[in-house]
Structure 1
């Protein structure tokens, strides 16, 4: 029987994308021999590649075939916010080319650096370096929050603390209760004590060292802007604090000696001023959010929708996050 040598739809998509990316970069003045698009690890909302033209290397993010550029798949939305931040104190990659023709894509400068979460990722980061990076990240975060919203491509209403709770409650609501024990009580405690919103700022949505490329101790670029929005700065700070203690992740993480305490990170963020009001609630919300995300991932694995045996390590962490979040509110 003859072998079918016709390219698959995925291969045809990659060939078409290759041609479009090379043409788009050349149209912006980049020259030299082009390498083939090389898939890169990381990111779940789009396709990520590396490509080199001459001596310059780029990261390309593209809408997956068959998907529309909506929500997390809207690659061009990420390009727009990074382009708007190019002349601010927020370190971001340089946007080099964009193409809004479906499926859309953009190319940005390849920034050298490590984006490792000290308490979760491998290889482990040396403790003193991890501590220094975490403190610098706490100092960079207020620079993000100080960027005036009127100079940004804001395309949605600000998310209040109540909106954030509702968002992650919906995620949790799709998880079988036995996978998130105690979450229903925690959700009620959060709902009964929602703080009033403060003036909205730019919120990255997943601010942590795993999304901050660093060279030595210095932040070089904040990446992965899939879920940026205007919102409450304390939501972002509470999420960042979840990753300050490896004890939050039994079975999947590690305790790194010498990391800054949450109070030390908040002091760096506040830069000598008073700490943000009602931060305990946002700390609890960050843990609730992580428990919801992990519960969602574990459910998908057990249903066979995304087979990943590593998800079976999550129950102890989910329980710890719910327990410590509940403790903060009682």
Structure 2
């Protein structure tokens, strides 16, 4: 599989980016990362290198220049991100950023031994960080972003993904898609959207957020897409057969209060909460289909059907009658 193979000259190009400094070997950074992710020691410092796999196209999650651009745009803002220290625009492009120490633990999905009070504090703080992200003046950030995505475009994209999932794997899915299409809310002013904002993508030290990472699918769009996704991970019951109970985690309402910080509630948020569940069902259904078709081999995907069904059922519940 080429997805695991680095460009043949990547190591040499990394060395040349740090002239006069001692550069160690590239060591694979384990974890659920898109593209290739390495740790490299340069002098006394450690950096993370992200690169396009050999023979892969530099688009979507593999667009390293796009990832570097958003991190550079966020430098010095109220949203903590790793500092970019090198960008090589020659294709296949790569970039290096500071290595930020910290834990990225998703309380209801990961195996961990976090103190429940610490998990709770991190989740509340993450809600505040998300608000700081959405409060940034997106027009002033040097993002070179495509036009904002509205709620209709978001629904259309994920409806296509859901329709690609066999009907037997998405019970009630067609009715949910119809109901979402009949109740699309008006748009809010666009903001910078992380796209996968949750504690699993937030490096924490003690109670504090050290850095928000994994910006592969950032966009400019509706803040409620990020917020709905983040709230989904507050309750293990959203993930039957997958989630674990962590006593004392804040409920969605408490996280929403932390995000709003006394501001006016966001209209139409329930529609986005339902959309988020549809998105998760579509993603899981897509992965399960690929496994059953033999395109990937991951028996763990067989644990997904109860969660897929629960996502669709609770999304319909949120929309009401």
Question: Do Structure 1 and Structure 2 share a fold, with TM-score over 0.5?
Answer: yes
Residue of structure 2 equivalent to 1:21: 14
Where do 1:1-330 residues align within 5 Å?
Answer: 13=6, 15-24=8-17, 26-27=18-19, 32-152=21-141, 153-330=143-320
TM-score (norm 1): 0.93
Q: Deviations over 1:66-96 (max 9, x none)?
A: 1221122101101011001001000000000
Structure 1, unmatched stretches of 5+, are 1-7
Asked if 2 retains the 8 angstrom alpha-carbon contact of 1:43 and 1:224, the reply is no
Residue 193 of structure 1 aligns to a residue whose secondary structure is coil
Deviations 1:31-71 (A, max 9, x none): 54322111112345311111101210011100111122112
Counterpart Cα distance in 2 of 1:276 and 1:199: 11
Helix, strand or coil at the partner of 2:95 = strand
Q: Which moved more, 1:63-72 or 1:130-139?
A: 63-72
Equivalent residue of 2:9, what SS? helix
Aligned residues: 319
Tell me if the contact between 2:148 and 2:221 (Cα under 8 Å) persists in the aligned partners: yes
Residues 194-238 of structure 1: per-residue CA shift (max 9 Å, x gap): 100011000000000000000011001111111111100011100
CA distance in 2, matches of 1:123, 1:11: 27
2:82 counterpart SS class: coil
Change (3 A) 1:136 1:253: same
CA RMSD of aligned residues (A): 1.7
- Compared CA separation, residues 216 and 57, structure 1 to 2 (3 A): same
| Helix, strand or coil at the partner of 1:51 | strand
Cα distance in 1, alignment partners of residues 177 and 185 from structure 2? 14
Q: Secondary structure at the match of 2:305?
A: helix
Are residues 155 and 11 of structure 1, via their aligned partners in 2, closer, same or farther at CA, if it must alter by over 3 Å? closer
| Cα contact 2:7–2:54 (8 A) shared by 1 | no
Task: Give, in angstroms, the shift of residue 193 of structure 1.
Answer: 0.6
Once the 2 structures are TM-superposed, how far is the Cα of residue 126 of structure 1 from its aligned partner? 2.0
Q: 1:35 to 1:265 in 2, by over 3 A?
A: same
Unmatched 5+ stretches in structure 2? none
Mapped partners of 2:121, 2:5: distance in 1: 45
Q: Distance in 1 between matches of 2:123 and 2:36?
A: 28
